[in-house]
C-alpha cells in the first residue's frame, strides 16, 4: 500500500472517534457511576471517567463498562454485606419478639415465686409465730425446689411435693404429741402413712396436680421462648454461598457497571435471587410453624387450668388450710399412727412451768387479702399471654416470607408497579423468567442462583432439630406431662408430673382452677372461713407452744 494512503487513513480514524453523532462509537461518561460509587464510601481512584472495554469482568456483562476489576470485587463484597443486613433487618421483628417476651415472662415468673414465698412467710409469722419460725426451713426448701425446677433444675415435682408433705407431717406430728419422744425410724414410719391417713385432707392431692401442671406449662413455655429466640438469632445471621454472592452482585451492582446506577432490580428478578440465597431458611418454615402452633397451645393453658398465677397466689392459704385439717384430725391421726407404728416412748419429765413468751399469747389477726403483694413484674399473666399470642401469630411463615418482604422494599427493587424500567440482570427491561417456589429442592432450575440442592445447610438442619425437640416438649406440657419425668410414674394414675390424664377424662383434677378469671376461684371463696378456723385453733396452738417451751426447760 502506498505511504500516502496510510497517511490519510490514520487521521480519518481519529476523526471518526471524535464525532458526537457516533454514540455507539464514542465511550460514554461514567460521571453518574462515579458519584454513586463515591457515595458508598469507595475511593474514586478505582473508577474510570469513561466506559472501558469489559473483557476483564467476571460477574457483570462483558460489554463496555464503568467497572474495573477492583470495583467489581469491592461491589461484590458490598452486595454480600447489604444482603446480610437486609436479612437481619427483615427478621428484626421476630427476633425482638422472642427476646423481649422471654425477658418479660422470665421476670414475671421469678417475681411471682418471690411474692408467693414472701406472702406465705408474712402470713405464717403472724399466724403461727415462733412455731413457724422454728420450722420455716420446710417451707423455704419447698420454694427453693420450685425455683430450681423453673430455672431448669433436675427436679421431679411430684416427688418433691410428696417429700414436702411428709416432712410437714413429721414436724406437726411431734407438735401435736409433745408428751412423746419420736426416733428417726418412728418418724419415717409416720411419713409412710401420709397417703393412707390423709392428715391434711385433700389439699396435697389437689395442690400437687395444680402446681405440677402449672409449673410444667410455665417452665416449658419460657424454654420455648428461649429456643425461639436462639433459632431466630442464628438463622438471621446468614452466610451466603459463592453462587449467592455472584447473583447478589449481578442484581445489585451490575447496573453500576453498565452505567445505570439509578436503575433498581425488577421485583420478580429479586425474588428468584432471594429464593435461591434463602432456600435453606425457607425449609425451616414447616418446623417453625409447628413450633409456633405448639407455643400457642401452651399459651392457652397458661390462661386456663395451667395458670401458674392463680395457683401460686393463694398457695399460702392452701397450705394453711392443710395445717388446720391436721389440727382438727390430730387425735384420729395419732391413734392410727400409734396403731400402725407402735406406741412411742414418753418424753422426759417436765420441770416446773414458766410463763410462755409473750408472742405466743398474741391474738391472731386474720389475714387481709389486700395485703398480698402487687401483681408480679407490674403486669398480669393474662395480659402477658394475650400480648405474646398476637406476636406469635404474626411470626408464622416468617422464613419463607423473607424474600417477599425484602423484594417489596422499594429501597431494594423498582417495586411491583414498575415491571418495565427495571434491571433484569442484563439490561433495563422486563424480567421474563418464572418465579421459583420456596425451599431448597425447588431451586434446581433457578435461573439466577447456582444452588446445590443435594447439600442442605447443616446449620439450618440443626435449628430444625432444635425446633422439633422443643415442639415435642410443648406438646407434652400441653397434656400436663413433664418431658423429663413423664415415664417415672404410672400414666394411668391421673396425678403428678407423669400423668397422662386429659382434661375431659379427669375433670376433678381441675376443681381448684377454672378457665374463668381467678377471682371466681371456688377455693379462694373459702379464704375467709379458713381464716376463721385458724383463729379458733390459736388457743390450741398456744397450749402446744407452752408445752414445748416447758419441755425444753425440763431438758
pLDDT digit string, tens, across residues 345-401: 887 764 433 333 333 233 233 344 444 444 565 678 999 999 999 999 999 999 999
Q: Judge residue 306's burial from the number of C-beta atoms within 10 Å of its C-beta, 0-12 exposed, 13-18 middle, 19 or more buried.
A: buried
**Residue indicated by cell numbers 376443681:** 511
pLDDT digit string, tens, across residues 474-495: 999 999 887 654 333 333 333 3
Parallel, antiparallel or unpaired: strands 180-181 and 345-346: antiparallel
pLDDT value of residue 26? 57
pLDDT, greater one: 242 or 535: 242
pLDDT digit string, tens, across residues 216-228: 999 999 999 999 9
User: Which grid coordinates belong to 506?
Assistant: 379427669
pLDDT value of residue 195? 79
Give the number of other CB atoms < 10 A from CB of residue 272.
25
Long-range contacts of 44-48 (CB under 8 A, 24+ apart): 46/70, 46/71, 46/74, 47/71
Buried-exposed string 84-122: b where 16+ CB fall within 10 A, e elsewhere: bebbeebbeebbebbbebbebbbebbbbbbebbbebbbe
Sequence-ordered list of residues with C-beta below 8 angstroms from that of 455, at least 6 positions apart, any chain: none
pTM of the prediction?
0.76
Q: Which residues pair with 29 in a beta bridge?
A: 50
Strands of 320-436, DSSP E: 345-346
Q: Cβ distance 341 to 183 under 8 Å?
A: no
Amino acid at each position: 500500500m502506498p505511504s500516502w494512503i496510510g497517511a490519510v487513513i490514520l487521521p480519518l480514524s481519529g476523526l471518526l472517534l471524535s464525532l458526537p453523532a457516533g454514540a455507539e462509537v464514542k465511550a460514554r461518561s461514567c460521571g453518574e457511576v462515579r458519584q454513586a460509587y463515591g457515595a458508598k464510601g469507595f475511593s474514586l481512584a478505582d473508577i474510570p471517567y469513561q466506559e472501558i472495554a469489559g473483557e476483564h469482568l467476571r460477574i457483570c456483562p462483558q460489554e463496555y463498562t464503568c467497572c474495573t476489576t477492583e470495583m467489581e470485587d469491592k461491589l461484590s463484597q458490598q452486595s454480600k454485606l447489604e444482603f446480610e443486613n437486609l436479612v437481619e433487618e427483615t427478621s428484626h421483628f421476630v427476633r425482638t419478639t422472642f427476646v423481649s417476651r422471654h425477658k418479660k415472662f422470665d421476670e414475671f415468673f421469678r417475681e411471682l415465686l418471690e411474692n408467693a414465698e414472701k406472702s406465705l412467710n408474712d402470713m405464717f409469722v403472724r399466724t403461727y409465730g415462733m412455731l413457724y419460725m422454728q420450722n420455716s426451713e420446710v417451707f423455704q426448701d419447698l420454694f427453693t425446689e420450685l425455683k430450681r425446677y423453673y430455672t431448669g433444675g433436675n427436679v421431679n415435682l411430684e416427688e418433691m411435693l410428696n417429700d414436702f408433705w411428709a416432712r410437714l407431717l413429721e414436724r406437726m406430728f411431734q407438735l401435736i404429741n409433745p408428751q412423746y419422744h419420736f426416733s428417726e425410724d418412728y418418724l419415717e414410719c409416720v411419713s409412710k402413712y401420709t397417703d393412707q391417713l390423709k392428715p391434711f385432707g385433700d389439699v396435697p392431692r389437689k395442690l400437687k396436680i395444680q402446681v405440677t401442671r402449672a409449673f410444667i406449662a410455665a417452665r416449658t413455655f419460657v424454654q420455648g421462648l428461649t429456643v425461639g429466640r436462639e433459632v431466630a438469632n442464628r438463622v438471621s445471621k446468614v452466610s451466603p454461598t459463592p453462587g449467592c454472592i455472584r447473583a447478589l452482585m449481578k442484581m445489585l451492582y451490575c447496573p453500576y457497571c453498565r452505567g445505570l446506577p439509578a436503575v433498581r432490580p425488577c421485583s420478580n428478578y429479586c425474588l428468584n435471587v432471594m429464593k435461591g440465597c434463602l432456600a435453606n431458611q425457607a425449609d425451616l418454615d414447616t418446623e417453625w410453624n409447628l413450633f409456633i402452633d405448639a407455643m400457642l397451645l401452651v399459651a392457652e393453658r397458661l390462661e386456663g387450668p395451667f395458670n401458674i398465677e392463680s395457683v401460686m397466689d393463694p398457695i399460702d392459704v392452701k397450705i394453711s388450710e392443710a395445717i388446720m385439717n391436721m389440727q382438727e384430725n390430730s387425735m384420729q391421726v395419732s391413734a392410727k399412727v400409734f396403731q400402725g407404728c407402735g406406741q412411742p416412748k414418753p418424753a422426759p419429765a417436765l420441770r416446773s412451768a414458766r410463763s410462755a413468751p409473750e408472742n405466743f399469747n398474741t391474738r391472731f389477726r386474720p389475714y387481709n387479702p389486700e395485703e398480698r403483694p402487687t401483681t408480679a413484674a407490674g403486669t398480669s399473666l393474662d395480659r402477658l399471654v394475650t400480648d405474646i399470642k398476637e406476636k406469635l401469630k404474626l411470626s408464622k411463615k416468617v422464613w419463607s416470607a423473607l424474600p417477599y418482604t425484602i423484594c417489596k422494599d422499594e429501597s431494594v427493587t423498582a417495586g411491583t408497579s414498575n415491571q418495565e424500567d427495571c434491571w433484569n440482570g442484563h439490561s433495563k427491561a422486563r424480567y421474563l423468567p418464572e418465579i421459583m417456589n420456596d425451599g431448597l429442592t425447588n431451586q434446581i432450575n433457578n435461573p439466577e442462583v447456582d444452588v446445590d440442592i443435594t447439600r442442605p445447610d447443616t446449620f439450618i438442619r440443626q435449628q430444625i432439630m432444635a425446633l422439633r425437640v422443643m415442639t415435642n416438649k410443648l406438646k407434652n406440657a400441653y397434656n400436663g406431662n413433664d418431658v423429663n419425668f413423664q415415664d417415672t410414674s404410672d400414666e394411668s394414675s391421673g396425678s403428678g408430673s407423669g400423668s397422662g390424664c386429659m382434661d375431659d377424662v379427669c375433670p376433678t383434677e381441675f376443681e381448684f382452677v377454672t378457665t374463668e378469671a381467678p377471682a371466681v376461684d371456688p377455693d379462694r371463696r373459702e379464704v375467709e372461713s379458713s381464716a376463721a378456723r385458724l383463729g379458733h385453733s390459736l388457743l390450741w396452738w398456744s397450749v402446744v407452744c407452752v408445752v414445748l417451751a416447758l419441755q425444753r426447760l425440763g431438758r
